[in-house]
Structure 1
Amino acid sequence: MQIGIIVNPRKDNVSTLITKIDRFAGRIVKKAKFYICTYNSTYTANSFENLIVESEKNLLKKSDLIITLGGDGTLLRTVTKMHQASNKKIMGVNLGGLGFLADTPAESVTSHIENFINSNYFLDERTLIECTPENGINSNKKKIIALNDVVIDKAGFSRVIQIDIKIDGKSLNSYIADGLIISTPTGSTGYSLSAGGPIVSPHSKVILLNPICPHSLTNRPMVIPDESEIQVRVWTENDSFSLLSDGDTQGKFPSGTSLILRKSAETVGFVKVKSQDFFKTLNKKMRWGEDFRNKKRWTYQKNNNADN
């Protein structure tokens, strides 16, 4: 078995965690081979006892499991590159702030790796979304892949843009807004949430369309089946608009550019242990459903009525 580690070197305490994994790899050397990509030139082939320094491209190609040490951003950027190799399994270790997607605690990383090696885990499959620009800088129709969302943005221009949308060839709306978020269920707790979108269970078979600051009293987020094809055309008084996937800019495109978006045929699998689940993470990380009222009074009334 081969395990690859992608490191965000800017995170606090990452060196300590790498040392811990290096020692752990030495104890299970007969069960797994470990590769590491640190994006840091200070680490060389002689920096570790049991971790093999490898390029990102080769690491993604040969590893059975990808582990990211960083935060949600590190995980998202890795997922975008993983699909270019093949469908992979990924485990996100949180060294960042929120750690909603990268929800493996740093102190549990070695035990979670051991669970994976011993097949004591489950695979949480997540949908990806793909976007194909029909003209503009990506005129070769290169697909853009995202786990969370694809965002159309007015690119710092002070005026709103017009976004015409068709669903399976049928006209839906013409948004006058700062932009549009096209989100997967996984991305519903990201940028879309900040823009007033709904929280969607990650295994729901839907895609979210969420306008950013629409100039209208009636525009609301739209939820559509994930088998739909979304045709978008963007108009702006400026020279161009921006297209982003999972927070990374994919470039600027001229007014009139057409985009085709749909669910990708590929998925990504998050390696989880039994104690990890979406709703528990939602409660813990987002404080979802937190209520400071004393609910014992209702329990007391029920018990009191039963006694009578």
Structure 2
Amino acid sequence: MTVEEGSPVTEVGTSAGTNRQVLLVVHTGRQDIVELARSCAARLARAGIGVRVLEEEAGALCIEGAHVVPADAEAADGAEIVMVFGGDGTFLRAAELARFSDAALMGVNLGRVGFLAETEPEAVEETLTAIERCEYRVEERLAIDVDVLDCEGTVVAGTWALNEASVEKAERSRVLDVVVAIDGRPLTSFGCDGVLFSTPTGSTAYAFSAGGPVVWPDVEALLLVPSNAHALFSRPLVTSPNSVLTVAIPADGNRAQVSADGRRALEVPDGGRVDVRRAARPVRIARVHESTFGDRLVAKFGLPVRGFRDSRTHDPGHELTRSCNVLTRGFVTVEPREEGCGGGTGEHA
């Protein structure tokens, strides 16, 4: 799950030299992560950048001089960067906090795969240098809005997702009957374990595990991926980003629920439906290191790229050009614009 070449680039909107703020979101369950976050906070402070920490994490972090803020919708207001220390789960939690601000997310991968994170722990110093010098780009990720409607067509609940929203059966022992519609027109129906609505970002997450396609992050599209469907026509669908994707649940069928990014759950009323559309507000992610989405796929999945015979005698991924392999922490320097951080044109990081 990454944003690379071709994605929209915007500016952070905070100029070097002003009162710059960075919010830290940390997986405090591991001491090594806590210590890394502390050292990064100290360096940011020495550079004159204010550091914020979440109220629920402040006790574990014990960062002197940090501004403690509640973990709510205003946590990232006025912040330039939300720096995330952890895996993709921590990144998704941070995305909730940055959702309605202009802050850009920048992740340090301390999990297992970490598709969303920008950098590995060994490259943190280069990442901090980029923040201090405003040498990074801000790219926008398509997000989705989710509406839950009752049998009368009234919206009774709603949420959003960066990766995916899944409509799942509430009872494991029963099949979930669904009707799939695109832009208000019925397309097909089948029994299944569930249906996933995914963004290109989420194409390498839950949707990938369910057999969906890998979609490059600069492709604007919505994905619908059936999960264990009892039907011949149950292939993943890739639609226009302007489409409205619908899954309706028959009133006499199994109960259903919605899970958004695995973090927020909603109940679907009997005979209700779920509508998914492109969110008006994208998620902003800061990029520093030189890599392409293809590089990340090779590195994260250990893909052989020369041939199965050659890969028998070499480690997977050994064929990657060293100058652009994400595992070598290649660092790209972008001349900052005078009016603010995160700008610039030319090759995408």
**TM-score range, shorter-chain basis?**
0.7 to 0.9
Equivalent residue for 1:199, pick from 214, 223, 226: 214
Q: Which residue of 2 aligns with 1:261?
A: 276
Rg larger in structure: 1
Q: CA deviation at 1:174?
A: 1.1
Q: Say if 1:236 and 1:92 are closer, same or farther in 2 by CA, change over 3 A.
A: farther
Q: Which residue of 2 aligns with 1:19?
A: 38
**1: distance between equivalents of 2:291 and 2:21?**
24
**1: distance between equivalents of 2:76 and 2:138?**
18
3-state DSSP of counterpart to 2:129? helix
Where does the alignment leave 5 or more consecutive residues of structure 1 unmatched? 296-308
Which TM-score applies when normalising by structure 1?
Answer: 0.86
Q: Contact 2:27 / 2:34 at 8 angstroms: preserved in 1?
A: no
Q: CA deviation at 1:142?
A: 4.3
Q: Aligned partner of 1:52: which letter?
A: H
Q: Does 1:61 align with 2:77?
A: yes
Q: Contact 2:147 / 2:159 at 8 angstroms: preserved in 1?
A: yes
Q: CA deviation at 1:111?
A: 2.5
Q: Which residue of 2 aligns with 1:305?
A: none
**1: distance between equivalents of 2:233 and 2:247?**
20
Q: Which residue of 1 aligns with 2:120?
A: 105
Which TM-score applies when normalising by structure 2?
Answer: 0.76
Q: Contact 1:205 / 1:225 at 8 angstroms: preserved in 2?
A: yes
Q: Which residue of 2 aligns with 1:224?
A: 239
Q: Does 1:175 align with 2:163?
A: no
**2: distance between equivalents of 1:252 and 1:2?**
38
3-state DSSP of counterpart to 2:90? helix
Q: Contact 1:22 / 1:50 at 8 angstroms: preserved in 2?
A: no
Q: Aligned partner of 2:90: which letter?
A: T
Q: CA deviation at 1:12?
A: 4.7
Q: CA deviation at 1:289?
A: 4.5
1:1-308 alignment runs, 5 A limit: 1-29=20-48, 32-37=49-54, 39-40=56-57, 42-43=59-60, 47-57=62-72, 58-83=74-99, 85-135=100-150, 141-235=156-250, 240-290=255-305, 291-294=307-310
**2: distance between equivalents of 1:122 and 1:91?**
10
Where does the alignment leave 5 or more consecutive residues of structure 2 unmatched? 1-19, 312-349
**2: distance between equivalents of 1:288 and 1:186?**
19
Indicate the RMSD between aligned Cα atoms, in angstroms. Answer: 2.3
Q: Say if 1:40 and 1:48 are closer, same or farther in 2 by CA, change over 3 A.
A: closer
Q: Aligned partner of 1:73: which letter?
A: G
Q: Contact 2:149 / 2:268 at 8 angstroms: preserved in 1?
A: no
**2: distance between equivalents of 1:209 and 1:13?**
39
Q: Which has the higher contact order (CA 8 A, sep 6+)?
A: 2
Q: Say if 1:150 and 1:92 are closer, same or farther in 2 by CA, change over 3 A.
A: same
**1: distance between equivalents of 2:106 and 2:58?**
24
Q: CA deviation at 1:122?
A: 1.6
Q: Give per-residue Cα distances to partners, 1:6-60, cap 9 Å, x unaligned.
A: 111113511210221132123212xx1111126346348xx32343332223432
Mean CA deviation greater in 19-28 or 283-292: 283-292
Q: CA deviation at 1:135?
A: 2.8
**2: distance between equivalents of 1:230 and 1:148?**
15
Q: CA deviation at 1:117?
A: 3.3
**1: distance between equivalents of 2:71 and 2:57?**
12
Q: CA deviation at 1:100?
A: 1.0
**Among the aligned pairs, what percent are the same residue?**
29
Q: Give per-residue Cα distances to partners, 1:245-266, cap 9 Å, x unaligned.
A: 1112413223211222100111
Q: Contact 2:182 / 2:243 at 8 angstroms: preserved in 1?
A: yes
Q: Aligned partner of 2:59: which letter?
A: T
Q: Say if 1:74 and 1:152 are closer, same or farther in 2 by CA, change over 3 A.
A: same
Q: Aligned partner of 1:255: which letter?
A: D
Q: Contact 1:153 / 1:179 at 8 angstroms: preserved in 2?
A: yes
**2: distance between equivalents of 1:259 and 1:160?**
18
3-state DSSP of counterpart to 2:63? coil
**2: distance between equivalents of 1:260 and 1:217?**
24
Q: Contact 1:164 / 1:173 at 8 angstroms: preserved in 2?
A: yes
**1: distance between equivalents of 2:174 and 2:278?**
31
